[in-house]
Amino acid sequence: MQIDESEKSLSELRKELRIKWYRCPIEAKELRELSKRSDAKGFQLALGHLGIWLTTGTLTFLFANAGWWLAAMILLFVHGTVGTFFIAPWHELTHGTVFQTKKLNTFFLRIFSLLGWLSFPVYQVSHNYHHRFTLHSAVDKELVLPKVPSLKPLYLLQLFTFNFSGGFESRGLIPTLKGFWGMATDRFNHPYFSNWDVHLFDDAPVGRQHSVRWARLVLGFHTGVLIFALLIGQPILFFIISLHHFIGNWLWYFVGAPMHCGLRSDVPDFRKCVRTITLDPISEFLYWHMNWHLEHHMFAAVPCYNLPKLHQVVADDMPKPRTIFEAWTEMRETYRKQLEHPTYEFDTPVPVSKKEKFEREEQLEAALGTQSLELVH
C-alpha cells in the first residue's frame, strides 16, 4: 500500500494520529535498571560480530588462494550468512541504545551500514514511524501488509546461493543497487521509489541531504573495493567485502520474517502485532537478541542485551514465545486463509492483563459490597 499524494502528508498524519499503546505493568525502578546501557556489552556484540565476519572472510581468502575452492565456497556461504545479519546491528545502533557512549553508537552504525549496503539516514526516519505506529496502515509503511512467507523453490535457491532479485525480508543485489543509485542521484521521485520513500523527508530536508551523501559514500567505497581487488588480481576480495551481504541470506530470512508477518494491523496492543520467538544461542547472538521483538517494541529504550531479562519480568502478561517452527507454521496457515479471505489476520491470544484483573476485582468487590448492603436493609 502506498501513500496517495491527495491524502494527508506523513507529517500531518503523525501529528494527528495518537495511539494509546498497551504496555505491561513494570516497576519504574526495574525499568530504569533494564534501560541502562553498557559500553562493555556493546563491544561484546559489535566486536564479536565483526570478529566472526573477519574470521570467515580471512579463511575464505586463504582457502581460495590455496586453490581449495570447495572449502572456500563453503566458507564464503558461512561468511555471507554472518554478514547478512549486519541488518541487526544497523537496527539496534539506529535506536542508539547499544553503547552508553553516544559516539560509539554512531561509529559502529556507520561501519555496519557501510559494509552491509544499508542507509541509516533513511532508516532513522522510517523506523521512527514504524515504532510509533506499528502496523497502523495509514502511517507505518515500513511494513506493507499482507506479507507472503514464501517457500517457493526459486526464491529459496537465491537465499541459499546469491540473492539477485530480493524479496520479503531479503535484499537482493539488483534492487539494492537501484535504490542506492536513486538516492545518490537524489531522485526520490523516481518510479523505483514508493510514495513512502518520496514523502519521508517532507519535513526533514536535512535528512534527505544526509541520505544522498551517504549513498554516494557507500557506492564509492564498494566501487573502490572492486577496482582494488581487480588491480591486485584478487577478485575474491570483492565477494568477501562487498558482495557478502547477498550471499547465504537463508538464516536471516527464516529468523527475521516472523516478527510481524500475518499479525493484526491497526490495533493498540503490541502483543497482537509483534511476535517474540526463541532461537539457539548462535542465531540470537547474530540477531542481536531481536528475537525478543515484542519486548523491544513495548519498551524500545531497553538495550537489546537486556531484552531476555525484560521478558522474564513481564512474561506473565505476554503471549508465550513461539519457536521458529511454530511461528512459520502460524504464518503459513495465516497466508493460506488470506488467499480465501484477504482481510484475515492472526489474532494472537493474550493473557488477561494485570490491569484488567485489577479492574475486574474492583468491580467484583463493588458488586459484592452492594449486595451485602442490600441484605442488611
Torsions phi, psi of 83, nearest 5? Answer: -70, -30
pLDDT in tens, the chain (377 residues): 344 434 566 777 777 888 999 999 999 999 999 999 999 999 999 999 999 999 999 999 999 999 999 999 999 999 999 999 999 999 999 999 999 999 999 999 999 999 999 999 989 988 988 999 999 988 888 887 788 899 999 999 999 999 999 988 888 999 999 999 999 998 876 655 666 676 777 777 788 899 999 999 999 999 999 999 999 999 999 999 999 999 999 999 999 999 999 999 999 999 999 999 999 999 999 999 999 999 999 999 999 999 999 999 999 999 999 999 999 999 999 999 999 999 999 999 999 766 566 565 666 666 665 454 454 44
* Pick from 310, 264, 360, 364: nearest CA to 25: 310
* Pick from 294, 296, 304: nearest CA to 264: 294
Cis peptide before 205 (omega within 30 of 0): no
| DSSP single-letter state for residue 278 | E
Query: For residues 130 and 253, what is the distance between their CA atoms, to the nearest angstrom?
Result: 20
| DSSP single-letter state for residue 277 | E
Task: Please tell me whether the overall predicted TM-score, pTM, comes out greater than 0.85 for this model.
Answer: yes
Residue 18 cell numbers, joined? 495518537
